[in-house]
C-alpha cells in the first residue's frame, strides 16, 4: 500500500519541485529563498534534487533525456531572470549541469542501495 502511494506521488512531486525551483529562481533577489551559502550552492542542490526526483518519477526514460530537459530548464531560468531584471549567468547553468551529473550518480547509487524508491 505504501509503495503504491509513493509510486503515485513521484511524478507530481517532481513537477511541483520544478515549479518551486522556477518560481524561487525568478523572485526578486532580496525575496528569493536561499540555503545561506553561495548562490552556486543553491543551483547545485536544486538540480541534484530535481534530477533524483526525475529519475524516480521517470525511470523508464533515458538519463540523457532527463538531463537534457533539466539543462533546458536551467537555461529557461537564466533567460527569465534576464527578462525580470535579475542577473542571468552562464556560470549558473554550468552549476545546474554539475548538479544534474551529481544527481544522476546519486540516483544510480540510490537505485542500487534502496530499490524500493524506484519500484
pLDDT greater than 70 at residue 2: no
Spatial separation of the C-alpha atoms in residues 5 and 8, rounded to whole Å: 5
Give the residue carrying C-alpha cell 529562481: 25
Cα angle value 48/3/1 (rounded, 5°): 155
Q: Does a structural domain hold residue 35? A: no
Q: Does a structural domain hold residue 34? A: no
| Tens digit of each residue's pLDDT (9 = 90 or more) over 63-119 | 999 999 999 999 999 999 999 888 888 999 999 999 999 999 999 988 877 665 555
Q: Does a structural domain hold residue 48? A: yes
Number of domains in the chain: 1
Please give the residue range of the domain that contains residue 107. 2-29+40-117
Spatial separation of the C-alpha atoms in residues 108 and 48, rounded to whole Å: 12
- pTM of the model as a whole: 0.86
Amino acid at each position: 500500500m505504501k509503495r503504491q502511494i509513493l509510486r503515485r506521488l513521484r511524478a507530481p512531486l517532481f513537477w511541483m519541485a520544478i515549479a518551486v525551483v522556477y518560481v524561487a529562481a525568478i523572485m526578486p533577489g532580496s525575496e528569493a529563498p536561499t540555503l545561506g551559502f553561495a548562490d552556486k550552492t543553491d543551483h547545485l542542490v536544486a538540480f541534484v534534487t530535481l534530477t533524483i526526483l526525475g529519475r524516480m518519477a521517470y525511470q523508464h526514460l533515458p538519463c540523457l533525456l532527463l538531463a537534457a530537459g533539466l539543462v533546458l530548464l536551467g537555461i529557461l531560468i537564466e533567460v527569465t531572470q534576464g527578462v525580470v531584471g535579475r542577473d542571468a549567468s552562464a556560470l549558473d547553468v554550468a552549476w545546474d549541469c554539475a548538479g544534474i551529473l551529481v544527481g544522476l550518480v546519486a540516483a544510480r547509487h540510490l537505485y542500487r542501495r534502496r530499490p524500493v524508491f524506484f519500484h
